């Protein structure tokens, strides 16, 4: 019960990585508030997960995280940590390699992955400072923020946003360490989520992944692969850890990856 008594907020906690983390957090003793954009997913999360309050909201709106934290305090009697998962691919907006990248693709991708994270982190820090309590913030990064893949994963706005998450997180960690506010990053590689459907359905990419993510048979990750790290960062076992970037990537960052031969 690593999270016994913790009151936690997950922004983007109703599908994929966030939903898996929500279930893991509750299993470890936490009471949680999850935020998502889809009403059906909100309903399912609220019904499926005990000790969970589910809210609908857009992470890129300034009041969403504030409301979630306020709900956490009112419902569970306090606020101990924030896990920001919300984000995603900007391909549908025009993200891609630089020579094809549209301005709308750039702006939308940064808003989705960076501005939303800034707003949730800001709300969390303000809440911790107002209450004078310690707290933990965990941000969702990506290996693409520091370990690019030029053949199959070429979305330059997304890479820029995830790289910025690291710089932003470490800067916050430095500024607020004296207040016992910890801020860290978890950086996955390819994980089986709704965002990964394009890659998961492409045999060439799957062949590449077998050598790029060679652990455990060379597979796509599952959301539960990240749960242990997330639980650690939100727990008191991480009370002396801040400003760190942990890649949970099946070996992506230390593996060359073989491009399949073209027919």
| Domains contained in the chain, CATH given | 7-192+223-247 (3.40.50.720)
Report the distance separating Cα 10 and Cα 218, nearest Å: 29
The DSSP H or E segment spanning 186 is: strand 181-188
Report the distance separating Cα 83 and Cα 13, nearest Å: 9
pLDDT at residue 257 greater than cutoff 70: yes
Out of 152, 158, 176, 232, the active site residue is 158
pLDDT band with cut points at 50, 70 and 90 for residue 260: confident
The predicted structure's pLDDT at residue 263: 66
Nearest partner of 153 among 107, 220, 215, 228, judged by Cα: 220
pLDDT mean over 187-210: 90
Nearest partner of 187 among 131, 125, 253, judged by Cα: 253
Contact present, 132 and 79 (Cβ < 8 Å): no
Residue 237: active-site member:
no
pLDDT at residue 142 greater than cutoff 80: yes
pLDDT at residue 67 greater than cutoff 90: yes
Report the distance separating Cα 163 and Cα 145, nearest Å: 4
pLDDT at residue 262 greater than cutoff 80: no
pLDDT band with cut points at 50, 70 and 90 for residue 200: confident
């Amino acid at each position: 019960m690593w999270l016994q008594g913790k009151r936690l907020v997950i922004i983007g906690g109703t599908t994929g990585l966030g939903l898996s983390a929500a279930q893991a957090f509750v299993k470890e003793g936490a009471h949680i508030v999850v935020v998502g954009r889809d009403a059906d997913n909100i309903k399912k999360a609220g019904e499926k997960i005990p000790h969970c309050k589910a809210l609908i909201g857009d992470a890129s709106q300034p009041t969403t995280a504030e409301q979630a934290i306020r709900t956490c305090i009112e419902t569970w009697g306090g606020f101990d940590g924030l896990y920001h998962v919300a984000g995603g691919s900007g391909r549908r907006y025009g993200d891609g390699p630089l020579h094809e990248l549209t301005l709308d693709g750039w702006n939308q991708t940064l808003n989705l992955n960076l501005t939303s994270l800034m707003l949730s982190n800001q709300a969390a820090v303000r809440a911790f400072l107002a209450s004078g309590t310690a707290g933990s913030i965990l941000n969702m990064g990506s290996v693409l923020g520091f370990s690019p893949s030029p053949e199959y994963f070429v979305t330059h706005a997304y890479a820029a946003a995830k790289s910025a998450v690291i710089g932003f997180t470490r800067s916050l960690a430095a500024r607020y360490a004296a207040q016992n506010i910890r801020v860290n990053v978890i950086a996955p590689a390819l994980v089986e989520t709704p965002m990964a459907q394009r890659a998961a359905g492409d045999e060439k990419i799957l062949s590449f992944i077998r050598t790029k993510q060679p652990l455990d048979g060379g597979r796509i990750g599952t959301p539960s692969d990240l749960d242990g790290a997330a639980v650690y960062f939100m727990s008191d076992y991480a009370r002396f850890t801040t400003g760190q970037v942990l890649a949970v990537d099946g070996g992506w960052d230390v593996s060359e990856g073989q491009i399949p031969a073209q027919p």
